Amino acid sequence: MTGGPRDSKTQVKSGGAGGARTALALADEFAAEPALRRAPRIWAIRADLRRSLGADTAALGDYDRALQLVGNDAERRYLVSARDRLGHAPQEH
């Protein structure tokens, strides 16, 4: 990954679907980092971005991954709610 967080933030501010696509590309890079691979929030971010781009099936997979990793009840409730908004029943984890 090049540029660091400040450059990444600037790239994401382009707005609209292009901004979401840019943010998703960055989230993909972050998710590939060993230190972040087991962080549920990166998967939740990816899911939210994919949902905003209309990629519901991919978003469901990322929500499932986040649910597998999350240890906080409040975050779990958010993830289940977000998944429900896609019109699919959440899987128990």
Query: How do the domains of the chain map onto residue ranges?
Result: 4-85
Residue 15 pLDDT > 60: no
CATH class entry, domain 4-85: mainly alpha
Q: At residue 73, what is the residue type?
A: D
Rounded Cα gap, residues 24 and 26, in angstroms: 5
Write down the pTM of the prediction.
0.74
Runs of H (alpha helix) within 33-88: 40-52, 56-69, 73-85
Give the residue with greater pLDDT, 61 vs 5.
61
Among the ranges given (30-34, 39-43, 85-89), the one the predictor scored with the smallest mean pLDDT: 85-89
pLDDT of residue 13: 45
Mean predicted lDDT score pLDDT of the chain: 82
pLDDT of residue 18: 79
